[in-house]
Amino acid sequence: MKTDWNHAATALLPDMVALRRAIHLAPEIGLHNPLTAAKVQAALDGLPLVWREGPSTTGLVATLQGSGNGRTVLLRGDTDALPLTEDTGLEFSSATPGAMHACGHDSHVAMLVGAARLLCAARGRLAGTVQFMFQPGEEGHHGARFMLDDGVIDPLPDAAFALHVLPNAPHGVFGGRAGPLLASADKLRVTIKGRGGHASMPHDALDPVPVACEIVLAIQSFVTRQVSVFDPAVVTIGQITAGTTDNIIPETATLFGTIRTLSARQRAAVQVGLKRLIEGIAAAHGASAVVSFEQGFPVTVCDARAAALGEAVATATFGEGAWATMANPIMGAEDFAYVLEKVPGAMFFLGASEEGSDWRSCCGLHSNHMTIDEAVMARGAAMHAALAERFLATGFEV
């Protein structure tokens, strides 16, 4: 018999809303989210789950063994918040100064808890094992990598899936694509060293400020003239720092920015090219430049079979119109990429705009005004459960 996951998840929606709001009220940042982890375990207390955690994070993996001894599938929900002051006016707004769930992770946790409850209730019909990964530290802290290194997902599953809400996307519609879904994200830091002096006598100094300005402009030309539009990159300098007042030429200027690419090859090539460019421009002016890169998340690459399975499951569970294939990747980044480097799988987006609203005008992720329509969480939990049941039964077959 086909399970009506949508109906079952809708019955759990009040509990998911309550959990989401409790997490939203007390957001936690980084690799250690003990309050959130405790809420997750309390919500799943008494269910036939085996829990694992590691020393590096408060991340949790709850394992459900079905009646069969076949495949294993992992479902991921991230738990951490952002360093941001909330300005939504919600009655359950963050009570933690300088922290807010502005990326929807509170809803991700609630949806995954809902899916765990659904699948535990259907344990006797599951042809294999489900791992529920509650992961902190997604917002730049490499939480997935730490959990993998700690061995809490050992042995590795046969497939892995994650959902991410989008507040400025059509209500209740799932989106995904095969291949690159999200970009790698690395940090670029440059220190240009000249010679300080009096602002009235620049010829007796070596001003690093115009050198820095020239480098910023040259980076834009580098990207448009040396990087293929079919394997793109985005390089943004978000911070320039130099000097202390108006009449002093500083000794140094610093640049701080981000590099986004959609392939490992381009990621490496852009870093080599930027180092050559920046050092060359500085040297041409008689200055020097120290260029460093901080490696961030890799490219999030979705397995074509997993993406096709997502489309098939969304359509079968919710009907025509519930799925939209994304024409292009998004240049944001996601540390679920670490899991997808080791396991075939996919991440899907779920439109969470208010039903009937103009979704194009809704605040996006990472906005201090960001809100979601909590009703979509029923669809998210149902999608998790349907994906797990379908993959355990038939693998990537569509």
pLDDT for 179-191, tens place per residue? 999 999 999 999 9
Are the beta carbons of 169 and 109 closer than 8 angstroms?
no
Are 47 and 156 found together in one domain? yes
DSSP 187-204: EEEEEEE-B-EETT-GGG
**Cα–Cα dist 160/310, whole Å:** 11
**Cα–Cα dist 202/191, whole Å:** 20
Taking the model in full, what pTM does it have?
0.94
Average pLDDT on 41-67 reads 97
CATH number at residue 43: 3.40.630.10
Residue-wise pLDDT tens digits, 303-339: 999 999 999 999 999 999 999 999 999 999 999 999 9
Are 272 and 357 found together in one domain? no
Are 198 and 277 found together in one domain? yes
Residue that is last in its domain, among 294, 318, 345 = 294
Q: What is the pLDDT of residue 357?
A: 84
Residue that is last in its domain, among 256, 274, 294 = 294
Q: Which domain holds residue 269?
A: 184-294
Average pLDDT on 30-39 reads 98
Are the beta carbons of 348 and 161 closer than 8 angstroms?
yes
Q: Provide the pLDDT confidence category of residue 358 given band limits of 50, 70 and 90.
A: confident
In terms of Cα–Cα distance, which of 124, 121, 375, 150 is closest to 133?
A: 150
Residue that is last in its domain, among 273, 294, 315 = 294
CATH number at residue 212: 3.30.70.360
In terms of Cα–Cα distance, which of 163, 152, 216 is closest to 188?
A: 216
Are 50 and 142 found together in one domain? yes
Are 249 and 354 found together in one domain? no
Mean pLDDT of the chain: 97
Average pLDDT on 159-166 reads 98
Q: What is the pLDDT of residue 363?
A: 86
Are 13 and 62 found together in one domain? yes
CB atoms within 10 A of CB 243: 17
Strand partners of residue 365: none
Are 142 and 109 found together in one domain? yes
State what percent of residues in the chain have pLDDT above 70.
99
Residue-wise pLDDT tens digits, 73-132: 999 999 999 999 999 999 999 999 999 999 999 999 999 999 999 999 999 999 999 999
3-state secondary structure of 62: strand
Give 107: exposed, middle or buried? Use CB within 10 Å, 0-12, 13-18, 19+.
buried
CA distances to 10, 29, 318 from 375, in Å = 8, 25, 14
**Does pLDDT of 1 surpass 80?**
no
Number of domains in the chain: 2
Q: What is the pLDDT of residue 2?
A: 64
**Cα–Cα dist 75/57, whole Å:** 18
**Does pLDDT of 362 surpass 90?**
no
Are 189 and 289 found together in one domain? yes
**Dihedral of alpha carbons 297, 301, 306, 309, sign:** positive
**Does pLDDT of 391 surpass 60?**
yes
Are 46 and 132 found together in one domain? yes
Are 141 and 226 found together in one domain? no
Are 131 and 10 found together in one domain? yes
Helix axes 105-121, 5-25, angle to 10 degrees: 140
In terms of Cα–Cα distance, which of 389, 395, 296, 307 is closest to 349?
A: 307
Are 14 and 121 found together in one domain? yes
Average pLDDT on 355-359 reads 85
**Cα–Cα dist 143/67, whole Å:** 31
